[in-house]
Structure 1
Amino acid sequence: MNIEKDYIKLIFGLKLKQARTNKNLSLFGLAKITDLSKSYLNEIEKGKKYPKTDKIILLAEKLEVSYDNMVSLKLDNNLAPIGEILKSGILKEIPLEIFGIQENDLIDIIANAPAKVNAFISTIIEIAQHYNLTRESFFLASLRSYQEAHNNYFEDLEQKVLDFSKAFYVNIDSKISIEELTAILIEEYGYTIQELVFSEQEQLGDLRSIFVPKSKTLLLSLDIDEPQKAFILAKEIAYNFLEITERLYTFSWIKFDNFDQVLNNFYASYFAGALLIPRQKLIDELNLFLAKTDPKPQEMIALMSGFNVSPESFYQRLTNILPKDFQLKNLFFLRLSHQIGADTYQIKKELHITNQQEPHANEMNEHYCRRWVSIRTIEESLKQKKNHFFDAQISSYENSKNEYLVFSSATPDPFKVDCIRSISVGILITPAVKKKFKFMESNSIKKQVVGVTCETCAVKNCLERVSPPIQLEQKTRNENTDLIVQQYMAKFS
């Protein structure tokens, strides 16, 4: 979208429509007093055409507004937020076409109902300010919506991995070595790879890699383990094989300059995950695991260890494969972070397929249910001093009665000192799920009644509760009050 050019046309159209409606004139009426066609005026108001100077003078005269006011880009207060969001360029940064939005659709929506669009934009801005949403948060939320709309499965990227393996004669049925990934980057793409102690610079403590485009040098932190290194190398291969130029140069990311970088970072990460965890191999391994009637935690850890990836990459890959190849259409992915010694747990990343599932991020500083296996694995990891603690649980939500089979792994956070994080995938339990998971009928998996947050939870006599159910109690009071009000209205009608 050419925002600069369209911005000028759209602002003029909005001002013309506002001036016309202030005079209580229809388009037909304005056409009659100006001798301009109704269709021409309609296209001006929709931001599709910009009139010549003589036409602007004529319109200003008939509508009794000044010429300077008509051509000014300044909007009245009631329309100012529309101008701000158009001028900001935020629409230019988001590739609207991936959401099925065309340029003309957007202009028509704004032009046809400016007051309602203005109210909507003002609401979004107010919510963003209230929850301290950053530009990056907005971009990441847009990406998450894009992933969820596609059930987080992208056939074209899966095919690209197969094309790559064929072109480079890489056997993806066996674990790809660091040496092979390194050789491809150096010999095919002309990389120079150096390992440094990033931790010597305090500001670089959270980084694992830096790519220097001018010299095609990849700087790797000596603190990373083999799975992290494999992922970084595979991601660099993705950037090159997919011919991505608009990209990020650090891992983890520091900032996003535009939405293309967010989207391309996801594409490269998806490719890397699909390369290190080939689709067919994972399907075969999962089928063997699901056929077990009483699997042990170490068996799931062994399954993950069969791939040269971190637990997070493995769980992310599950969100690609389970909906597509196992027809498990309702699941969630959560990453929780915990500072050792603190009493708080934060959701840092989430994904929901196909609908918004029960456990989800809460921006009201409420306390997530301490009965979640996502939290218990963190606690047990610290208690048992294990670098990778795995557990599973059937979580039965008190409020909705929905049940989820949840797998969770807790490991030290590779990006933050004295932090533990857990990665979890939860699958909504249905009769079809019970047939796929043979061990669902056994008593080996703990079943736990849970809530979302303590403040909204109806579980009675919960020993793990860290806050009273104040939000639930308020909701109940409002419902009871409304019931009595309805009785009085019926009585005195």
Structure 2
Amino acid sequence: MEEEYIKLIFGLKLKQIRVDKKLSLFGLSKLSGLSKSYLNEIEKGKKYPKPDKIAILADKLDVPYDHMVSLKLDKNLAPIGDILQSKILKEIPLELFGIKESNLIDIVANAPAKVNAFISTIIEIAQNYNFSRESFYLASVRSFQEANNNYFDDIEQSVVAFAEAYQIDLSKPITSQDLEEILTEEYGYTINETELNKHHALDNLRSVFIPKTKTLLLANQIDDAQRTFIYAKELAYNYLEYKERLYTFTWIKFENFDQVLNNFYASYFAGALILPRDIITKELSNLFLKKEFDEKQFLNILNSFNASPESFYQRLTNILPKDFNIKNLFFLRFTHRAGSEKFYLKKELHISSLHSPHANETNEHYCRRWVSLNVLEDISKSKQEHIFDMQISHYPNENVQYLVLSSATKDPFRENHFRSISVGLLIDKQLKRKLGFLENTKIKTKQVGVTCERCAISDCQSRQAPAIRLEREAKNKQIESLVEDLKSRFS
């Protein structure tokens, strides 16, 4: 059994016994002759006393020595022991949010019944919604991104240092050939473009890395932008010296949280390398000064890099909060199969506020008035490679508006499948100061909901389902009002 676990259990038991006897730490110090700071270290699970010290504590607290050293916890502390033994705290990336495990255990120890009930509730919700370990880790990384406004200066500086070290001109589009040379010459990689496509079960993978031989297997249907991004990620793993990493892209298996976090860092590095911050900031500044949105100029900026629209939109979520102080925004990626009525929200990021929409597990119908869905329907019926559109989405229930920019493209790995990438910016005083074209009446405005089941727009011609959730809430409010009235009349 881990030494750390034994120390924590002993500390919890000592604190419980002390509190039960209504002793303060100062009082126990006077009683036992042991220093207050030493006892505090023991209770926090940082130190384990020697046998003679345990004997003194057992004697002064009138508790059998065997009970003191037993790993069996009393009933009210037993759930904590279960949590510690289950290693659930090892699964939670506490250090990412600056939380020490000992502090969390201290919180649990102070109110074991309530905290255990809370943890049990979270676990039950997770099980009912099929909330996997994978989902938990991804949610943790997403929360980490949101807490940092999705900007990481140390990675940005690493990109600049890397470009200088390898003489990469960031003012020009970076090609896969530029990066492949560094991978093969500097890091000893071998690139294989034939093996992966021999295995039909792997047709959704773009790459697989074999660490023993430093062989990178690539799918042959990827374009140069995708290849460049994959190479940039591999360079990030090597240059940043990440030992814990994922070996497939898109990834299908991980062993620990560090692999998921380092995958995010490597992706961030790749995006920052291919889409340099200084260039995008300068180009966007010129675009934002205009009194009318210049779609052609926006698309020229997007197309000036050797990157996919998704990579460009994701890069906007790094740059807009940092360089333009536009922090209330969301990023969405939807997928759609031509001829289907289903739209799937596969990726989301919400910075600063809990913006709508969110992915849901209740099989509801997303609002068909969103530009994110409109561009998907348009591209699925056309032969175009890329469709762009923009709208102001007004949520009447919340009385907020978002400027939403959206691009739709074909899914290169699945026939008749498409994806849309969207960035939504909350329209507030800050956005109005930054965007000169925001007051232009040519930008179409639509009233939108989140899902049909929760939408109060009565005259919607695109409704896919009745507002049953809204009706249920209204009924519950009516019941609540009537009960309050009865209580008042008969009191």
Q: Settle same-fold status: TM greater than 0.5.
A: yes
Q: Kindly indicate whether the alpha-carbon contact (under 8 Å) linking 2:410 and 2:418 is maintained by their aligned counterparts in 1.
A: yes
TM-score where L is the length of structure 2: 0.91
CA distance in 2, matches of 1:294, 1:346: 32
Residue number in structure 1 paired with 2:275: 277
Residue number in structure 2 paired with 1:25: 21
Residue number in structure 2 paired with 1:411: 409
| Cα deviations by residue, 1:88-144 (Å, 9 ceiling, x for unpaired) | 434335553331213442332233232232122112111111111111111111111
| Cα deviations by residue, 1:365-421 (Å, 9 ceiling, x for unpaired) | 222111111111111110123222211111000211100000111122345454322
Larger mean Cα displacement after TM superposition, 68-77 or 463-472:
68-77
Residue number in structure 1 paired with 2:167: 169
Relative to 1, partners in 2 of residues 1:489 and 1:386: Cα closer, same or farther, differing over 3 Å? same
CA distance in 1, matches of 2:287, 2:16: 65
CA distance in 2, matches of 1:378, 1:453: 17
In the alignment, which of 455, 461, 464 is matched to residue 463 of structure 1?
A: 461
Q: For 2:386, give the aligned amino acid.
A: H
Q: Kindly indicate whether the alpha-carbon contact (under 8 Å) linking 2:332 and 2:349 is maintained by their aligned counterparts in 1.
A: yes
Relative to 1, partners in 2 of residues 1:88 and 1:337: Cα closer, same or farther, differing over 3 Å? farther
Residue number in structure 1 paired with 2:200: 202
Residue number in structure 1 paired with 2:158: 160
What stretches of structure 1 of length at least 5 have no aligned partner?
none
Residue number in structure 1 paired with 2:248: 250
SS in structure 1 opposite 2:192?
strand
Residue number in structure 2 paired with 1:85: 83
Q: Kindly indicate whether the alpha-carbon contact (under 8 Å) linking 1:93 and 1:260 is maintained by their aligned counterparts in 2.
A: no
Q: For 1:348, give the aligned amino acid.
A: K
SS in structure 2 opposite 1:441?
coil
CA distance in 2, matches of 1:102, 1:390: 46
Q: For 1:119, give the aligned amino acid.
A: A
Q: Kindly indicate whether the alpha-carbon contact (under 8 Å) linking 2:89 and 2:101 is maintained by their aligned counterparts in 1.
A: no
Q: For 2:460, give the aligned amino acid.
A: C
Residue number in structure 1 paired with 2:389: 391
CA distance in 2, matches of 1:412, 1:12: 59
In the alignment, which of 109, 114, 117 is matched to residue 116 of structure 1?
A: 114
Residue number in structure 2 paired with 1:218: 216
Q: For 1:207, give the aligned amino acid.
A: L
Residue number in structure 1 paired with 2:475: 477
Q: CA deviation at 1:4?
A: 2.9
SS in structure 1 opposite 2:287?
helix
Q: CA deviation at 1:158?
A: 1.1
Relative to 1, partners in 2 of residues 1:320 and 1:67: Cα closer, same or farther, differing over 3 Å? same
Q: Does 1:428 align with 2:426?
A: yes
CA distance in 1, matches of 2:416, 2:358: 24
Q: Kindly indicate whether the alpha-carbon contact (under 8 Å) linking 2:13 and 2:68 is maintained by their aligned counterparts in 1.
A: yes
Relative to 1, partners in 2 of residues 1:417 and 1:41: Cα closer, same or farther, differing over 3 Å? farther
CA distance in 1, matches of 2:40, 2:251: 46
CA distance in 2, matches of 1:188, 1:38: 57
Relative to 1, partners in 2 of residues 1:143 and 1:301: Cα closer, same or farther, differing over 3 Å? same
CA distance in 1, matches of 2:254, 2:77: 29
What are the equivalent positions in structure 2 for 1:289-328 lying under 5 Å apart?
289-295=287-293, 297-328=295-326
What are the equivalent positions in structure 2 for 1:374-389 lying under 5 Å apart?
374-389=372-387
CA distance in 1, matches of 2:358, 2:413: 23
Seq. identity, %: 58
CA distance in 1, matches of 2:489, 2:41: 55
Q: For 2:396, give the aligned amino acid.
A: E
CA RMSD between the two structures: 2.8
CA distance in 1, matches of 2:345, 2:390: 19
Residue number in structure 1 paired with 2:345: 347
CA distance in 1, matches of 2:71, 2:306: 56
SS in structure 2 opposite 1:196?
coil
Q: For 1:27, give the aligned amino acid.
A: L
Relative to 1, partners in 2 of residues 1:81 and 1:226: Cα closer, same or farther, differing over 3 Å? farther
Q: Kindly indicate whether the alpha-carbon contact (under 8 Å) linking 1:28 and 1:38 is maintained by their aligned counterparts in 2.
A: no
CA distance in 2, matches of 1:436, 1:20: 60
CA distance in 2, matches of 1:345, 1:74: 52
CA distance in 2, matches of 1:232, 1:195: 13
CA distance in 2, matches of 1:276, 1:124: 40
TM-score where L is the length of structure 1: 0.90
| Cα deviations by residue, 1:268-325 (Å, 9 ceiling, x for unpaired) | 1111101100011111221233334444645433321111111111010000001111
Q: Kindly indicate whether the alpha-carbon contact (under 8 Å) linking 2:32 and 2:57 is maintained by their aligned counterparts in 1.
A: no
Larger mean Cα displacement after TM superposition, 6-15 or 420-429:
6-15
CA distance in 2, matches of 1:437, 1:41: 59
In the alignment, which of 351, 357, 360 is matched to residue 359 of structure 1?
A: 357
CA distance in 1, matches of 2:169, 2:229: 17
Relative to 1, partners in 2 of residues 1:453 and 1:404: Cα closer, same or farther, differing over 3 Å? same
CA distance in 2, matches of 1:125, 1:78: 19
| Cα deviations by residue, 1:335-362 (Å, 9 ceiling, x for unpaired) | 1122344322222111111111121122
CA distance in 1, matches of 2:385, 2:374: 15
CA distance in 1, matches of 2:412, 2:68: 57
Relative to 1, partners in 2 of residues 1:409 and 1:41: Cα closer, same or farther, differing over 3 Å? same
CA distance in 2, matches of 1:135, 1:415: 26
Residue number in structure 1 paired with 2:487: 489
Q: CA deviation at 1:86?
A: 2.4
CA distance in 1, matches of 2:231, 2:174: 11
| Cα deviations by residue, 1:194-245 (Å, 9 ceiling, x for unpaired) | 2125343122111111111112121111011111001001111111111211
Q: Kindly indicate whether the alpha-carbon contact (under 8 Å) linking 1:82 and 1:121 is maintained by their aligned counterparts in 2.
A: no
SS in structure 2 opposite 1:27?
coil
Larger mean Cα displacement after TM superposition, 205-214 or 476-485:
476-485
Larger mean Cα displacement after TM superposition, 411-420 or 216-225:
411-420
CA distance in 2, matches of 1:112, 1:38: 22
Q: CA deviation at 1:44?
A: 4.1
Q: For 1:386, give the aligned amino acid.
A: Q
Larger mean Cα displacement after TM superposition, 357-366 or 219-228:
357-366
Residue number in structure 2 paired with 1:128: 126
Q: CA deviation at 1:35?
A: 5.0
Q: For 2:384, give the aligned amino acid.
A: K
CA distance in 2, matches of 1:209, 1:130: 33
